């Protein structure tokens, strides 16, 4: 009977758990969500602990140790909050250690406060946090429960050693009861939230992705480039236009033209970083925004690498040896001031100069007369 029940429970959880594939697809959104939640929780906690530290001065039986503890945890949380504001949008994975640092810091403080100097009092706050954290934050259950398990074990050991035996037994009982009770709501909420992020990502991808090439479409690229310009205050915009593309379409047909556009997108993804914004503005015009880049030499080198790769790519696969190769004109401009429209105009001017100079070449806006 017990074995059968165990199999049913195991089957139920395996069927309803969030798969690693789903989690990895939305891990960036999970990092961003946890970071936002942590900032709110840290800000609220800092306010509460600072207030408690100050109020201790006016409470009968004032304890300097309690005030110092409140101020120390406030300082730690302020540090975590300041570091969290520096997490770069292109590397949100750095939010993971911050998220667990926050959990450990608050749990250690509340555990310490519940044990030290509270020989005859229950550690209610620690149990509340232990139950709440897996529900508030989103992460792989093994990782988040593994961390809280270690914290709970440490709390159990020190509670058994330092507190009144009767109080200690009650505290330990509730620590582990609420540890296991938190699993059920956490399991379901994680599933719901990850699936929601996953479905939302699918919808956003369909809305923002150019169906033919898999790159960002015009609206999505413009939005992404503007976001990076506002957050990093630098970057380089590259505009590329295929040479003689209309002739290729007229000679070989639109099916061949579509295949060429896919090849060009593949070449762009090979040359540029995954953190750079890449898009197709329509027709045979492609755009790249090199996030955080400031040096024209590096941008020119990347553009030349792209041009070299395109010039080695045949138009017709079936006649690769005798086929013409893809040619393109490229113009780029460094963002220094102004807005996206002015930056685009500068890069477009450089593109026009590349075409005017004979096509299949790279031009920088700084090399041209503005």
Q: What is the mean pLDDT of the chain?
A: 88
Give the long-range contacts of residues 142-150, CB within 8 A, separation 24 or more: 144/186, 145/183, 145/186, 147/100, 147/103, 147/104, 148/103, 148/107, 148/179, 149/179
For residue 61, the model assigns a pLDDT of: 64
pLDDT band at 321 (very low <50, low <70, confident <90, very high): low
pLDDT digits (tens, 9 = 90+) for 169-178: 999 999 999 9
Residue 9 has pLDDT above 70, yes or no: no
For residue 315, the model assigns a pLDDT of: 85
Q: Regarding predicted confidence, which is higher, 239 or 57?
A: 239
pLDDT band at 318 (very low <50, low <70, confident <90, very high): low
For residue 322, the model assigns a pLDDT of: 65
pLDDT digits (tens, 9 = 90+) for 207-227: 888 889 999 999 999 999 998
For residue 4, the model assigns a pLDDT of: 75
The angle formed by the CA atoms of residues 340, 342 and 346, to the nearest 5 degrees, is 115
3-state secondary structure of 285: strand
Residues 6+ apart with CB under 8 A from 250: none
Residue located via tokens 């139950």? 131
For residue 62, the model assigns a pLDDT of: 63
DSSP designation for 331 = E
Residues 6+ apart with CB under 8 A from 305: 271
Residue 200 has pLDDT above 90, yes or no: no
pLDDT digits (tens, 9 = 90+) for 223-234: 999 988 888 788
For residue 161, the model assigns a pLDDT of: 92
- Compute how many other C-beta atoms are within 10 angstroms of the C-beta atom of residue 327: 18
What percent of the chain has a predicted confidence (pLDDT) above 70? 94
CA–CA distances in Å: residue 367 to residues 39, 301, 331:
45, 15, 10
Residue 320 has pLDDT above 70, yes or no: no
Report the pLDDT averaged over residues 61-73: 80
Tokens of 326: 């893809």
For residue 368, the model assigns a pLDDT of: 45
Report the pLDDT averaged over residues 108-114: 90
Tokens of 255: 């099916």
Q: Regarding predicted confidence, which is higher, 322 or 354?
A: 354
Residue 334: beta bridge partners? Answer: 236
b/e 121-149 (16+ beta carbons within 10 angstroms → b): eebeebbebbbebbbbbbbebeebbebbe
Q: Which helix (H) or strand (E) holds 133?
A: helix 124-136
Domains and CATH numbers, the chain: 2-204 (no CATH), 211-367 (3.30.70.270)
Residues 6+ apart with CB under 8 A from 253: none
């Amino acid at each position: 009977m017990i074995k059968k029940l165990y199999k049913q429970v195991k089957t139920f959880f395996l069927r309803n758990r969030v798969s690693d594939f789903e989690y990895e697809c939305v891990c960036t959104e999970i990092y961003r969500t946890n970071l936002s939640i942590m900032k709110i929780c840290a800000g609220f906690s800092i306010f509460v602990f600072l207030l408690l530290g100050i109020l201790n001065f006016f409470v009968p039986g004032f304890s300097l140790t309690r005030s110092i503890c409140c101020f120390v945890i406030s300082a730690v949380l302020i540090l975590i909050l300041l570091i969290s504001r520096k997490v770069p949008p292109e590397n949100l994975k750095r939010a993971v250690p911050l998220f667990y640092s926050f959990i450990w810091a608050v749990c250690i403080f509340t555990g310490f406060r519940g044990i030290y100097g509270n020989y005859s009092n229950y550690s209610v706050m620690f149990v509340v946090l232990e139950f709440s954290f897996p529900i508030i934050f989103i992460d792989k259950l093994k990782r988040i429960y593994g961390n809280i398990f270690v914290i709970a074990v440490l709390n159990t050991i020190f509670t058994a050693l330092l507190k009144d035996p009767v109080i200690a037994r009650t505290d330990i009982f509730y620590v582990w009861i609420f540890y296991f009770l938190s699993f059920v709501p956490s399991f379901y909420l994680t599933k719901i939230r990850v699936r929601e992020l996953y479905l939302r990502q699918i919808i956003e991808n369909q809305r923002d992705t150019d169906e033919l090439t898999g790159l960002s479409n015009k609206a999505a690229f413009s939005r992404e480039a503007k976001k990076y310009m506002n957050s990093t205050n630098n970057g380089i915009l590259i505009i590329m236009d295929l040479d003689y593309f209309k002739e290729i379409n007229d000679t070989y047909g639109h099916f061949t033209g579509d295949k060429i556009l896919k090849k060009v997108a593949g070449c762009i993804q090979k040359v540029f970083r995954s953190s750079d914004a890449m898009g197709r503005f329509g027709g045979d015009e492609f755009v790249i925004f090199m996030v955080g880049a400031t040096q024209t030499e590096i941008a020119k080198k990347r553009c030349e690498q792209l041009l070299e790769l395109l010039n080695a790519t045949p138009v017709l696969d079936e006649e690769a040896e005798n086929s013409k190769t893809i040619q393109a004109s490229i113009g780029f401009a460094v963002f220094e001031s102004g807005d996206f429209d002015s930056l685009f105009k500068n890069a477009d001017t450089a593109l026009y100069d590349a075409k005017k100079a004979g096509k299949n070449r790279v031009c920088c806006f700084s090399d041209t007369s503005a």
